[in-house]
């Protein structure tokens, strides 16, 4: 694979029953890239958290859509989960990037534990949440091929 980034984009109803489709796509893409089983499982949990946040908080039972963009490069997989619902009021946000790594677990409010978990499982987590514009969560995992696979 060259240095070019390839994108796979899916748009789903913001409904919990569709989160499995995201996990299945993730599994297929990450397997082709050569990620380990453990890394894929970590990514599945992190992506599920990002999707669940969109389903639970962004639309509050209204019909909405969630875009999931997989960006495949030679050495990393980035997964972006975007919604256009209300921003997470439970998590401090005003168009700023949120970082949870410098907060105590007790400081993380309801809805914030998912972000804490995403940061523990992924190499990079970026969250941008703007009132009235929705939320964009980008999760990145670097590919570390084992010696025997190179």
Domains in the chain with CATH codes: 6-142 (3.30.565.10)
- Residue 80 CA, chain-centre distance (Å), reads 5
pLDDT score recorded for residue 144: 84
Nearest to 51 by CA among 14, 93, 90: 14
pLDDT score recorded for residue 96: 40
pLDDT score recorded for residue 129: 83
CB 91 within 8 A of CB 129: yes
The parts of the chain modelled with pLDDT lower than 50 are 1, 89-110, 148-150
pLDDT score recorded for residue 60: 64
CA distance 140 to 134: 20
Q: Which residue has the tokens 């453990």?
A: 38
pLDDT score recorded for residue 107: 44
pLDDT score recorded for residue 45: 95
pLDDT score recorded for residue 88: 52
């Amino acid at each position: 694979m060259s240095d070019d980034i390839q994108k796979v984009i899916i748009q789903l109803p913001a409904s919990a029953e569709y989160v499995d489709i995201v996990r299945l796509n993730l599994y297929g893409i990450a397997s082709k890239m050569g990620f380990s089983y453990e890394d894929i499982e970590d990514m599945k949990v992190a992506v599920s958290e990002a999707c669940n946040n969109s389903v639970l908080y962004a639309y509050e039972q209204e019909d909405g859509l969630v875009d999931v963009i997989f960006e495949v490069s030679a050495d990393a997989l980035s997964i972006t989960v975007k919604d256009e619902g209300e921003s997470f009021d439970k998590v401090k946000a005003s168009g700023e990037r949120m970082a949870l790594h410098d907060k105590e677990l007790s400081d993380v409010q309801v809805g914030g534990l998912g972000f804490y978990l995403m940061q523990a499982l992924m190499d990079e987590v970026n969250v941008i949440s703007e009132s009235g514009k929705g939320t964009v969560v980008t999760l990145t995992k670097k590919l570390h091929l084992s010696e025997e696979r190179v």
